Amino acid sequence: MYKSSHPQRPSPCVVAFLILFFLLLAGAGVRPLGAQPLAQGLDRFLGGGTSADISRYLIKYWNQVTPGNDGKWGSVEFAQGTYYWTNLDKIYNYVTTRGLLYKHHTLVWGQQQPGWITSLDSAGQRQAVENWIKAVGQRYPKMNFIDVVNEPIRAPAAYKQALGGDGATGWDWVITAFELARKYCTPGVKLLLNEYNILQDNAMTDSYIALINLLRQRGLIDGIGIQGHYFEFRSDTRSANQYAYSLTTLKGNLDRIAALGLPIYITEFDVDEPDDAVQLEQYKIYFKLLWNQPAVKGITFWGYIEGDVWTSHPYTYLLKANGSERAVVPWLRNYVLMPLPPLALSPNGSNAEVRNPRLVWNTAPLATAYRLQLTTARAFNTTLLDTTLADTSLQLGKLDANGRYYWRVSARNDKGESDFSAVAFFTTGTTSGVIDPAESAPADFTLEQNYPNPFNPVTTVAFRLAADAKVDLCIFDLLGREVATLFHGRLAAGTHQLHFDGSALESGSYLYTLKSDHFRVTRRMTLIK
């Protein structure tokens, strides 16, 4: 038996308010209560690949979206001249109205192309490709990124001859595709190249870098895509045929690509493991390897929710179908808010270094403190110094002459501590150069560490005078040659700031000295261009 009840009806004003509230909640740019993309506020994104059914927790976790199959040529123009945009429009409109980043995938790819393309002659193919690129560029002007050519090495397009074939460069067809994308896409859309199985193979990395350089020399490429599927790093733990590529090789080749100076995007990252604990264990290896490279400006998970993943890799999802999180998600939520490992800048690799050098490292975003270790043992099984400090430099006291020293630094905040930087080293000589201000200068005359440091190309030098004084503030290279004079003359007592523009200097370390009749103080600054 059912019990009947007749609750009091809400007033018309309340009803109107509720209707307005839910309309606003569903509208563009409004996220549900509690929604917080994992990479919110960071200098890089975390994204998800998705199909046209895009309402499943997407904006709760990700601030970038890539269509899976819906943006591929074969999915849109399966009949020549007839475009099926419905699914792609749905994703694009959902993403752009909510202020997320949209990356189109993909314009040219040999694996998924319209079946009719091979029936055309070369001129017909060339025109069809241009029509397709033009149609995408004009229909989706708010794209942020676009995979112009997908897998050019592993899966070249069957119609590549129509775009110029190998030609004089060996990659004329890829260059033509990028020229068309640059022509028809809205200015500011970042054009990307995308490929897989790159990092584990030195020769493949060589080939990829050579192709990237051809595009870069022509001003046609804005970012580098590396897919990052699990199988590109190792076999899944359930496979009968186990393999795991060298982490040193993977990191070394990632660093080589980063050295090209373009942002890197990990476009299709996944870890195919059904056991939550195993998936998390592998994330702690491979996600960290990629995320800790400063040139990586975004990672897109290739299928983030159960039921919308690559069918041949069914356990890559991060969310179960009901929206509950696998173990990796809480770890990710915390890890991406930890600082990245700092870069040990100077001294590094130098011989005959002064016996009391100043150790300098870069500022790690999100860091509130740094841990520095100094040792004479390369393995750091013993340390001479293990200290925590807030600054990005440390003035050492006198070390032994003609000694080899190693140092490294990590970054910390309330979320945890980063990995240590790559190890830096130096060998001392017999002389001392940089004088510790605390030991040499009167307490009432001070020279501050320049800020920012390292800098490019402008920095500020602050100092305090306890009394009127005639002072010189000069910049020297490490050979003691004066390269700039910031001030020469008399100053009143008080705090002073001077700006230094290092545009005319080469990257490297320099000394700056404040001197008068009664004191002399020297510090080190680092210019990085």
Decide the pairing of beta strands 45-50 and 64-67: parallel
Angle, helices 247-258/276-291, rounded to nearest 10 degrees: 40
CA atoms within 13 A on the CB side of 11: 3
- Dihedral pair phi/psi, residue 13, rounded to 5°: -65, -40
Q: Are 527 and 502 spatial neighbours (Cβ–Cβ below 8 Å)? A: yes
Residue 118: exposure state from Cβ atoms within 10 A (0-12, 13-18, ≥19): exposed
Phi first, then psi: give them for residue 29, nearest 5 degrees.
80, 0
* Structure token digits, residue 182: 């640059």
Contact in structure between 230 and 236 (CB atoms under 8 Å): yes
Catalytic residue among 268, 273, 306, 353: 268
| 268 is annotated as an active-site residue | yes
Per the CB < 8 A criterion, the answer to whether 310 and 49 are in contact is no
Question: Could you please report the per-residue DSSP string of 274-334?
Answer: SSHHHHHHHHHHHHHHHHTSTTEEEEEES--BTTSS-TTSTT--SB-TTSPBPTHHHHHHH
Q: N- to C-terminal Cα distance for the chain?
A: 79
Tokens of 464: 């305090």
From CA 88, how far away is CA 69, in angstroms rounded?
A: 9
Place of tokens 């709760």: 60
Active site residue 273: no
* Cβ 520 vs Cβ 434: under 8 Å: no
Q: Choose, from 77, 151, 195, 232, the residue flagged as catalytic.
A: 151
Take residue 422 and report the two structure tokens written for it: 């790559």
Task: Provide the annotated active-site residues.
Answer: 151, 268
